[in-house]
Amino acid sequence: MKFNTKTRRLLWIPVFAALVGSAAWAFVAGRSPSRLAALSQSAPVAQRAPYDPNAVHSNLVFLARKAKGDVGDPITRAMLARTYLESYRETGDAADAVRAEAAARASLAIRTRHNGEAWMQLAGSLLAQHRFPEALAAARRATPYSDQAYRQCAGLEIEIGQYQAAERDLAKSPPRGEDPAFLALAARLLEVRGKNADALALLQEAASQADANLDMPHQSVAWFHERLGHRLSSMGRLDEAEQSYNAALKVFPRDYRTMAALARLHAARNDWQHAIEWGDKAAAIVPAPETFALLGDAYAALGQASAAAGQWKLVEQIGALARSQGAVYDRQRALFYADHNRNLQEAVTLARGELRLRKDIYAHDTLAWTLFKAGKLAEAEAAATRARAMGTQDATLFYHAGSIALARGQRDRARLLLSRALEINPTFDPTAPRRVRAVLAQLGTKSTP
Amino acid sequence: MKFTPTFCVLCALVISLAKLSAAHPMGNFSINHYARFEARANALSLRYILDFAEIPTAQRMPQLDSNGDGKIEGDEKSAFLRAESAALAKNLSVEIDGKRVPLQVLSSRLDLHPGAGGLDTLRVVIEYNVAVSSGEHRVSYRDDNFRGRTGWMEVIAVAGKGGAIRDSSAATVDRSRGLTVFPADAEAVKPLQNSATFTMTGATGASGATSGNASATASGAAQPNPNPASPETQTPAATSGSATPQNRFTQAIAERDLTPGVMLAGILISFLFGVAHSLSPGHGKTMVAAYLVGSRGTPRHAMLLGLVVTITHTFGVFLLGLATLFATNYIVPERLYPALSAASGLIIFGVGLWLLMSRWQMLAAQQHNYSHSHDGHGHDGHEHSHDGDHAHAHSHDHDHSHAHGEVHSHGGKAHSHAVPEGPVTLRTLVTLGISGGIVPCPEALVVLLAAVKMHRIGYGLLLIVAFSIGLAAALIAIGLVVVSAGQRLSRLDRFSAGGKLTRYLPIGSAAIITIIGIALTLRAAGGAP
């Protein structure tokens, strides 16, 4: 078959078009490998590797050896600090946070300028030790080198109640592509402002982004799910919260924080056996006082007074341990004492100490609750008002404020506040909602179920 | 306020009492594990230690104090240990050639030590025997007790009498000394080993394996490192270089039963280690010798210099020990070591340089002013000066010759023409002595800290004093040998007062001291203690 010149020229058109199309497709596919994988049905879908409990430790050993081999290496020491912090987040071992601080300081001793990573790790280690002002100062030193440091500043400012400064700093570190850390911080600020639904949406997006990021450490992915679980739980959506907690444990099976959260969730359902089961699992890894307190409540609810007393005694002993080490702030212990009507003067002292260190809404709330229990109602009311000054829609804040109002004889105000607590979260506490309903019934208000 | 010595001692005591209630070094909720296998000809023993920090001890207290009276009686201890030994053994898997074997409890003990916040810490030590037949066996070990709980986890496998270990994934170096010492710096990562495998053989079939000797089994205490670890047998922990210094001296404090005989042996060992330690690099032996040679020291100077080095060294141990125990938040001993080493090096360098310069100046002045030859010449009534302190006018009308350095008299005043070495001053002796002893040795520090940890402070101090006496004896002996050798040599012509060698010896000795100072400073700057 023979083609004339004109036909041959026409035949080149589809060939050329095919070449251009192929090149364009290859370019796009090359830039976006995940999309290529999605398009190609036969390509295997990448999955997160199972959690390796020895991975962080192996990294620590490697980096420590490398650091020992080169006494003038600031980068390895900053990486060592980062890895110690990773270990701390996995194990809850405060000694790892102290070692992270030592490694970061060693890095900074070698190179103070242009060492943003070490400043950030130092800030992280100080945060883990609740040394907030020092942590913020260290994070601020890192800002010339990394806009991630602004985000760290924002996180710290939220912890100490400087919410407007946190919003400003967060704005200086806008999200880059899929950025679950940004979303989680933004959600926290929305929660403080009382925008719970918006915060939930951001946290859901953050959790799915964390799931998609296969390079993210297991405990970090689990943290996003745990955080989402907390949000759902504080809105009374316990079944969804449980799913989120289970997702966290699937990624990071030894997540003692999520285990403790599941214990609280079951306690909120008054499912005491499961609460004890999860509480025991969490305490076997990290024996935290709040977990023992919850276990004590669970045993008490089951009528096992002796077992309950044993758990509460452990909380007291940990308190003695903390006192011996000079701790003058501890909001968990302050709340435990107030909830259990014991050591009320110490509870107030602890709450005041906490407020000197951090002026966030929960520090004001803790002080309000301890003052209320200690019978200092006027001061308690002022503190409770400060706790809700940002418009935060947290059932516990309303419950505490309502209880104080009731004690001061402000029946209408109490009715309003207590009703609002149940509206926000009808399961905000294992036992308090029942009491609130009884009070509202007495006050003549029909509460939500 | 006056900072009198008494006031300072009182402050130190107050601080020490406060700090003694510090929390467990591995964190107050840690449970620390230690397993030490020792392979002998036909036996395998396992020493298993669990160290519970304050909170886990509080959690276990209801089981321990079974009658709840707040006191732990002997029968309560026995009952607890019986139950505990059996319960722990269930989660300890020892397989010989792939078959799990039972663990037979040989002995067990528990100790409660005061921790922070009025709480105790609990230490359980169980000696298990593992039945093995003679020959070669592959041993697998796994510890599933308290899984998930943070803490130190160490597995050691060493060869005992007639036994050998090879192909081992266990450590051979006991880093924590049976959970009594925990390295705290960031670059000493805690081990997290809860399993190990190794091959044990009897002595007759131990070709290619590291074998034990009689001394390895003579003591029940963990051995420092009976087999020099080959790279394949070293764990990351063992190769990290962070191991606590260990030898018979550091072990002496950890002997389980302190009978008078054991104590006496410990003191003798410490003395001998002091002697041996003074011969290891550092502690100013060369500097002592160089100074004494160059300055024509006497036996008295040798003794004084040796004593000053030793006293400074002993005080250095105590001070660094105090810093480690009571000021760890402010002073990191690992940082202090290089600083002390650098200070020592700089002081020695300064003294050496000063000696060098002053002696050189004296030599130059002598050569400048002494513008005539003494090699078989006659003096014809000129004036000359030998040095600034020694100017005199004299006239000779006789013919004689004398070598420089030789002591001679021109009219009743004896003098030498050698480079004047300057007097042996007390200040120089003390300065050099302090700089030589300022860096305390890690072994003595380990003994001190272990003594505090094990509540054997008196015995620990005794060991350190014995160690220091050994150190002093050796240094003084070296000084005396040097002085004596110098005096004997000076009788020979070559080394006589007028000899060239003798003339420049003081400058040479000053140069050696200066070089030692530079070397020590550079070594400290390089991070070596």
* CB spacing of B30 vs A65 below 8 angstroms: no
B460 is written with which tokens?
Answer: 């620990």
Whether A68 contacts chain B with CB within 8 A: yes
Instruction: Identify the pLDDT of residue B443.
Output: 66
Residues of A in contact with B54 (CB under 8 A): 317, 321
The answer on pLDDT for B391 being more than 70 is no
How distant is the alpha carbon of residue B233 from its chain centre?
26
Residue B16 has pLDDT above 60, yes or no: no
A440 or B333, greater pLDDT: A440
Q: Do A95 and B30 make contact, defined as CB atoms within 8 angstroms?
A: yes
Where a domain ends, among B184, B216, B244? B244
Nearest CB to B23; choose among A92, A99, A321: A321
Q: With an 8 Å Cβ cutoff, are A321 and B185 in contact?
A: no
Q: Does A95 contact B242 at a Cβ distance shorter than 8 Å?
A: no
Residues B282, B221, single domain; the answer is: no
Q: Give me the mean pLDDT over the A181-197 stretch.
A: 96
Looking at residue A390, what is its pLDDT? 96
Mutation target among B17, B57, B60, B150 for the A interface, most CBs of A within 10 A? B150
Between A239 and B42, the higher pLDDT residue: A239
Helix (H, G, I), strand (E, B) or coil at B92: strand
Span A64-71, mean pLDDT? 90
**Burial level of B194, CB count in 10 A (0-12/13-18/19+)?**
middle
- Co-location of B348 and B443 in the same domain: yes
Q: Given this model, what pLDDT does residue B8 score?
A: 41
* Burial profile A45-81: b = 16 or more Cβ within 10 angstroms, e = fewer: eeeeeebeeeebbebbbbbbbbbbeeeebbbbbbbbb
Predicted local distance difference test score (pLDDT) of residue A3: 52
Dihedrals phi, psi of B46, to nearest 5 degrees = -130, 120
**Of A190, A210, A212, A215, whose CA–CA distance to A200 is shortest?**
A190
CA–CA min distance B330, chain A (Å):
12
Strand, coil or helix: B44 = strand
Q: How far is CA A104 from CA A69, A146, A149, A206, B138, in A?
A: 17, 16, 15, 29, 43
Last residue of a domain, which of B213, B244, B275?
A: B244
Note the pLDDT of residue B450: 63
B240/B345 same-domain check: no
Q: Which of A47-51, A366-370, B287-291, B522-526 has the highest mean pLDDT?
A: A366-370
Q: Does A310 touch chain B (CB under 8 A)?
A: yes
B307 and B228 in a common domain:
no
Taking a contact as any Cβ pair under 8 Å apart, which residues of chain A between 260 and 299 contact chain B?
284-287
Task: Please list, in sequence order, all residues whose beta carbon lies within 8 angstroms of the beta carbon of residue B271, skipping any fewer than 6 positions away.
Answer: B466, B467, B469, B470, B473
The count of residues in chain B is 529
Better pLDDT: B8 or A140:
A140
pLDDT of B184 higher than 80: no
Measure the CA–CA gap between B187 and A89, rounded to whole angstroms.
19
pLDDT over threshold 50, residue A392: yes
Choose between B258 and A185: higher pLDDT. Answer: A185
Contact check, Cβ <8 Å, A65/B56? no
Touching check for B460 and chain A: CB below 8 Å?
A: no
Instruction: Check CB contact under 8 Å for A54 and B192.
Output: yes
Average pLDDT of chain A to the nearest whole number: 89
* Structural domain count of chain B: 2
**pLDDT of A170 over the 50 cut:** yes
In a domain, B281, yes or no: yes
Highest mean pLDDT of the ranges A18-22, A141-145, B72-76: A141-145
Please indicate, yes or no, whether residues B226 and B296 belong to a single structural domain of this protein: no
Q: DSSP secondary structure string, B57-70? A: HHHHHHHHSTT-SS
The pLDDT tens digits for A84-97 are 999 999 888 888 89
**What is the structure's pLDDT at A48?**
86
Tell me: the pLDDT tens digits for A288-328?
A: 889 999 999 999 999 999 999 999 999 988 888 877 766 65
Show the CA angle centred on residue B196, arms to residues B195 and B202, nearest 5°.
145
- Is the Cβ pair A317, B119 closer than 8 Å? yes
Task: Using the structure block, give the residue that is written with the tokens 């979303």.
Answer: A183
pLDDT at B241: 32
Is residue B394 in some structural domain? no
Sign, CA dihedral B303-B306-B309-B312, equals negative
Highest mean pLDDT: which range of A185-199, B39-53, B198-212, B373-387: A185-199
Residues in chain A: 449
Residue B370 lies in a domain: no
Q: Please say if the pLDDT value at position A40 is more than 60.
A: no
Give yes or no for A80 touching B (CB within 8 A): yes
Query: A276-285 pLDDT, tens per residue?
Result: 999 999 999 9
Which of residues 84 through 123 in chain A touch B, CB cutoff 8 A?
A: 84, 91-95, 99-100, 102-103, 106
Residue B385 in domain: no
Confidence label for A34 from pLDDT (cuts 50, 70 and 90):
very low
Taking only the tens place, the pLDDT of each residue in B459-515 is: 777 887 888 788 778 878 887 887 777 667 666 655 554 556 656 766 777 787 788
Cβ separation of A100 and B58 shorter than 8 Å?
Answer: no
pLDDT at B428: 72
Per-residue pLDDT tens over the stretch B299-353: 777 778 777 877 877 777 777 767 666 654 455 555 566 676 777 777 778 877 8
Name the token pair of A365: 């709330």
Residues of chain A with Cβ-Cβ distance to B332 below 8 Å are: 102
Q: Are B308 and B430 in contact (CB under 8 A)?
A: yes
- Quick check: A132 and A357 in contact, CB under 8 A? yes
Average pLDDT of A143-166?
A: 94
| Contact between chains at B22 and A321 (C-beta distance less than 8 A) | no
Q: Using alpha carbons, select from B432, B436, B435 the residue that is nearest to residue B355.
A: B432
Nearest C-alpha in A relative to B62: A310
Q: Note whether B341 contacts A: Cβ–Cβ < 8 A.
A: no
| Residue B369 scores a pLDDT above 90 | no
Neighbours of B183 (CB within 10 A): 18
Can you give the residue range of the structural domain that contains B280?
263-361+422-525
3-state secondary structure of B93: strand
Please tell me if residue A322 touches chain B, with a CB cutoff of 8 Å.
yes
pLDDT at A33 over 50: no
The whole-number pLDDT of residue B430 equals 75
Across the interface, whether the CB atoms of B187 and A94 are under 8 A apart is answered no
Query: Who among A61, A95, A325 is closest to B116 (CB)?
Result: A325
Q: Which of B116, B236, B237 sits opposite A321 (nearest CB)?
A: B116
Q: What DSSP string runs through A49-64? A: PPP-TTHHHHHHHHHH
Q: Specify if B401 maps to a domain.
A: no
In a domain, B513, yes or no: yes
* Same domain, residue pair B188 and B122: yes
* Res B256: pLDDT: 53
Give chain B's count of helices (H) and strands (E).
14, 17
Lowest mean pLDDT, pick from A87-91, A250-254, B399-403? B399-403
pLDDT over threshold 90, residue B37 = yes
CB A367 within 8 A of CB A383: yes
Q: Cβ contact (<8 Å) for B192 and A94?
A: no
- What pLDDT does residue A41 have? 45
Structure token digits, residue B466: 């014995």
Query: Smallest Cβ distance to A324: which of B25, B117, B186?
Result: B117
Structural domain includes residue B250: no
Residue B270 domain flag: yes
In terms of average pLDDT, the best of A192-206, B93-107, B263-277 is A192-206
Task: Please indicate, yes or no, whether residues B439 and B321 belong to a single structural domain of this protein.
Answer: yes
Chosen domain end from B180, B210, B244: B244
Residues B415-435: what's their mean pLDDT? Answer: 58
Compare B383 and A271 and report the one with higher pLDDT: A271
Lowest pLDDT segment from A235-244, B86-95, B238-247, B286-295: B238-247
Give the per-residue pLDDT at B299: 78
B62–A contact, CB cutoff 8 A: yes
Return the pLDDT at A101: 94
Query: Which residue of B55, B146, B189 is in closest CB contact with A64?
Result: B189
For the stretch A316-367, pLDDT in tens is 888 888 777 666 568 888 999 999 999 999 999 999 999 998 999 999 999 9
Looking at beta carbons, which pairs linking A310-314 to residues 24 or more positions away fall under 8 Å? A310/B62, A312/A340, A314/A287, A314/A289, A314/B55, A314/B58, A314/B59
Same domain (yes/no): B452, B309: yes
Number of A/B CB contacts below 8 angstroms equals 97
Looking at the structure, do residues B137 and B271 belong to the same domain, yes or no? no
pLDDT of A325: 67
Chain B positions touching A299 (Cβ under 8 A) are none
User: Per the structure block, which two tokens stand in for B244?
Assistant: 């606590």
Best of A105, A290, A317 to substitute, by most chain B Cβ atoms within 10 angstroms, is: A317
Element (H, E) at A377: helix A377-387
Does residue B376 carry a pLDDT above 50? no
Pairwise CB contact (< 8 Å): B237 & A61: yes
Lowest mean pLDDT of A28-37, A115-124, A390-399, B398-407, name the range.
Answer: B398-407
Taking 90 as the threshold, does the pLDDT of residue B3 lie above it? no
Asked if A67 lies within 8 A of B187 by C-beta distance, the reply is yes
Cα–Cα distances in angstroms (integers) from residue A417 to residues A194, A377, A382, A411, B363, in the given order: 15, 16, 15, 10, 97
Statement to judge: residues B123 and B216 lie in one domain: yes
Q: Which residue has the higher pLDDT, A377 or B12?
A: A377
In DSSP terms, which residues pair with B127 in a beta bridge? B47, B107
Structure-block tokens of residue A321: 């341990």
Least CA distance to A106: which residue of chain B? Answer: B186
| Chain A residue numbers touching B62 (CB-CB < 8 A) | 310
Distance, CA of A233 to CA of A243 (rounded, Å)? 11
Task: Provide, as residue numbers in chain B, all residues whose Cβ is less than 8 Å from the Cβ of A320.
Answer: 117-119
What is the distance in angstroms between the Cα of B61 and the nearest Cα belonging to chain A? Answer: 10
